Amino acid sequence: MEIEWINEQYKESNRIFDSKWEVEEWVNSLYSDFSGCLRTNVGYATPDENVFLRLSEELPRWAEYTHAQVEIHTDTQIVDGKPLYKIWVTA
């Protein structure tokens, strides 16, 4: 199964945000990329643990809102000595 990593489209994806507000705004902006969880095999990878945690809260809400039946997966990898948090959606 091939995952489409939407973070590759954004230069902000490697950024660690300074405030909770910035994290919330960034995560909310990703809603359209996940298309309300109607798309499957879509994921996001980030070095910012707060973005990862917020996405892990929002993705189930988005799925419930759109009545989508999806599974949410997470993983953490160490890249160049730093954690990279991954979250993705499958059917």
Tens digit of each residue's pLDDT (9 = 90 or more) over 2-20: 998 998 888 888 899 999 9
Task: Pick 36 or 30 by higher pLDDT.
Answer: 30
- Does pLDDT of 87 surpass 70? yes
Q: What is the pLDDT of residue 55?
A: 95
- Distance from the Cα of residue 67 to its chain's centroid: 19
Q: What is the pLDDT of residue 78?
A: 96
Q: What is the pLDDT of residue 11?
A: 83
Tens digit of each residue's pLDDT (9 = 90 or more) over 31-48: 988 875 567 889 999 999
**Comparing C-alpha atoms, which of 7, 82, 2 is closest to residue 44?**
7
**b/e per residue 6-20 (b: at least 16 CB within 10 A):** bbeeeeebeeebeee
| Domain coordinates in residue numbering, the chain | 4-90
- Please indicate, yes or no, whether the overall pTM of this predicted structure exceeds 0.95: no
